[in-house]
Copies of this chain bind each other. A is one copy, B any other.
């Protein structure tokens, strides 16, 4: 939520001159993006977002992220389209940072999403999965099951500072999920972070998906499981069945789940809850007091995890017989 890198008008005008986007009219740093610095630009041809990639984003991953956005936009997924400069490159350099210019997507995220929103998110996610099938770059999921143990070992000795017996709960989950995790589900490009603040609406109609900087290759159904966690729980961490039903029905209206995906859904949702529990717990323990970006509460995901452990099948999310 900050501008980490300041750009000067002269540097930006020189950078922009490489792109066929007209004359620069204005630019303002925006308070969005925890990882990167973002500016909103107006030029004589329209609005754009300029992103400066800060050090937490691996530069080697940028061609995957930008290429994916280009591929998805070309396939009618409403997402920011990276603009190529005169040399055909999507990535430039500005103020000592790798920098990209993307089209500005109108819309704003739903602070209190309703079932109508969830239905559209499900549809958009399934369309993204289908469109991603013929994208030719690959990226491992660094925050997938293979990475959870390593992430946990970075703070395991302090886990109980967050909640009593949290260390024991996480250890048990890690070993159970390692044993039970499926090996044969349909794979492809997933967004992997499709939380409400990454989905824009205009007047209740989905207008765009943003922030592809966790996108990777993994089980498609795992992406839906992330969305169940991200969209369908109320503040007290109770599942809102109306929302999860709308989400899954929306998804299946575009891409019906296969039998093994449906069977694995509670387990995938458990894994997704653990993934966000781990990163939030890490951030919780490593954010200095008084920091600009307040860490999210990790325990909301412990409660979700317990819910997913407690249910017998996907029917608990859909309210239907399986």
Question: Chain A interface (Cβ within 8 Å of chain B)?
Answer: 1-3, 8-10, 23-32, 40, 42, 47, 104-112, 200, 202-203, 290, 292
| 25 A-B residue pairings within 8 Å (CB atoms) | A1-B3, A2-B2, A2-B31, A2-B292, A8-B111, A9-B108, A9-B110, A9-B111, A10-B112, A24-B202, A25-B202, A26-B104, A26-B107, A26-B108, A27-B108, A28-B30, A28-B32, A28-B40, A29-B30, A29-B31, A30-B30, A30-B31, A40-B40, A42-B106, A292-B292
Leading 8 A-B pairs by shortest Cβ distance: A29-B31, A25-B106, A8-B111, A3-B31, A28-B30, A26-B106, A9-B108, A9-B111
Q: Which B residues touch A31, using CB under 8 A? A: 2-3, 28-31
Copy tally for this chain in the complex stands at: 2
A213 to B191, CA, bound (A): 44
Q: Which B residues touch A203, using CB under 8 A? A: 23
Q: Which B residues touch A26, using CB under 8 A? A: 104-108, 200
Known: A107-B26, A292-B2. Contact between A42 and B47, CB under 8 A?
Answer: yes
Q: Which B residues touch A30, using CB under 8 A? A: 28-31, 40
Least CB distance, A211 to chain B, in whole angstroms: 14
Least CB distance, A161 to chain B, in whole angstroms: 23
CB pair A108 B24 closer than 8 Å = yes
Q: Which B residues touch A200, using CB under 8 A? A: 26
Least CB distance, A120 to chain B, in whole angstroms: 15
Q: Which B residues touch A112, using CB under 8 A? A: 8, 10
Q: Which B residues touch A42, using CB under 8 A? A: 47, 106
